[in-house]
Amino acid sequence: MTINNFKYFPFSLKLKNPFQTSSQTITERNGFIISISDELENTLFGECSPLPGFSLETIEDAERILRGLQYQIVGFSAEENLNSVAALLSEFHLVPSLQFALEQAVIGLIIKRNKNFIKDSFATVKSEFGVNAVIGFGEEENILDRINEKFNESYSTFKIKIGRDDFDLDYRIIQSVHEKFGDKIKIRLDANRKWSFENAKSFIERLAIFGIEYIEEPCSNLYDNLQLAQTSTVPIALDESLSSIEDVHKVISDGYINFIILKPMIYGGIISSLQIIQEAWKKNKNVIISSSFESAVGKSALVLLATLVNHSFAHGLDTSEYFKQDICRDLYEVNNGKIFFDHNNFPPHFDLSLS
């Protein structure tokens, strides 16, 4: 396979509601869509969209590299396997979000040329998987109504944001959710790094009676979360505490962490995510594939990764409803709390005429 054309263009998507990070409020997602064509005139797309407050690089960093890359990558060749793709891209100095975009496009070309590539390369390819509904801050009645709405749409896993200044408010809300829905739903909690180590120990002891699937980022730093995981009666999940692929590998190998929330756009791409998935499976850890608010283009690569994870836990890919308008139709919308996947129709065709 030889690359004979490379292009990119910017996009901007407005969020329906602001997304609050630890340092800023995000009201839109900005990034680039790249297109790569091979010598057979197949063209595939990839998304590069650093997430402010999470990604190490800025969108300006990515664009600077893109400007040079469009003159460098044309003419390069790779064999139709992941090792060859990794070797090809190692020739360039790429930031994680751009690594994601290029791997998405090049792997898409390989699959386009060889429709058996997915099922021949991976032991497990699911045809469907569950997703969790995200329930943000709000009044107790509104939260219960929102969960009930999603429950009636056949969602069974709910990630509920907690971390209010008054923990008793958090507790009463989770108590009410449990009283109303009981074992009919699975509850995940996201404390957004709000608690000190000692408070986290105390709060988790109180919450454990509700059968929490896991609690995400309870403490304000990685060290405290790792220490907490050694004794916590509720499994601990890590997300933004993990700032690099090296952090992820270390946690999988050495820690007591049961769940890793993996954002491939932030951590450096698809191939490295596959390696993490395989390593986690060997260590009996669970990788949850999570969106960084990608457009429908980037989301499609996350869906592929989620089908390759060897567990039945729900993934964090229910993002379509967050945008006022996506860059194109989302071909992997949630239906009855699940996303369905047909490897024979991957990679999907995107109509980017809206952009």
Enter the tokens of residue 291: 């969106």
154: its two tokens: 């056949």
Assign residue 269 a region (left: φ > 0; alpha: ψ between -120 and 50; beta: otherwise).
left
Rounded (5°) CA angle 147-14-6: 120
Q: Please give the pLDDT value at position 20.
A: 64
What is the CATH architecture of 3-120?
2-Layer Sandwich (3.30)
Domain boundaries, given as residue ranges, for the chain = 3-120, 122-354
Q: What are the residues whose beta carbons fall under 8 Å from the beta carbon of 74, sequence distance 6 or more?
A: 3, 4, 5, 6
Report pLDDT for 24.
65
CATH architecture assignment, domain 122-354: Alpha-Beta Barrel (3.20)
Give yes or no for a contact between 159 and 192, defined as CB atoms under 8 angstroms apart. no
- Torsion over CA of 53, 55, 57 and 58, rounded to 10 degrees? -50
CA distance 263 to 315: 11
Q: How far from 336 is each of 251, 304, 330, CA to CA, in Å? A: 33, 19, 16
Give the per-residue pLDDT at 116: 86
On whether the CB atoms of residues 317 and 291 are closer than 8 A, the answer is yes
CA pair distance 51, 59, nearest whole angstrom: 8
Each as own residue / partner, the long-range contacts of residues 245-253 (CB below 8 Å, 24 or more positions apart, any chain) are 245/272, 245/276, 247/222, 248/276, 249/276, 249/279, 251/226, 252/276, 252/279, 252/280, 252/283, 252/285, 253/279, 253/283
Q: Which two tokens stand for residue 100?
A: 């994601």
Nearest to 34 by CA among 123, 116, 94, 115: 94
User: What distance in Å separates the CA atoms of residue 131 and residue 29, rounded to the nearest whole number?
Assistant: 22
- Angstrom distance (rounded) from CA 31 to CA 33: 7
pLDDT on residue 306: 97
- Count of alpha carbons within 13 angstroms of residue 196, beta-carbon side: 3
pTM confidence score: 0.94
Which candidate, 133, 128, 138, places its Cα nearest to that of 162?
Answer: 138
18 by DSSP, 3-state: which? strand
**Which structure tokens are listed for 284?**
């009996």
Q: How much is the pLDDT for 173?
A: 97
- The residue type of 335 is N
Q: Please list the rounded mean pLDDT of every run of 10 residues in the chain (355 residues).
A: 94 85 75 96 96 90 92 90 92 94 96 88 89 90 95 96 94 97 97 95 97 96 94 95 87 90 92 93 95 95 96 92 90 95 92 68
Backbone torsions φ then ψ of 70, nearest 5 degrees: -65, -20
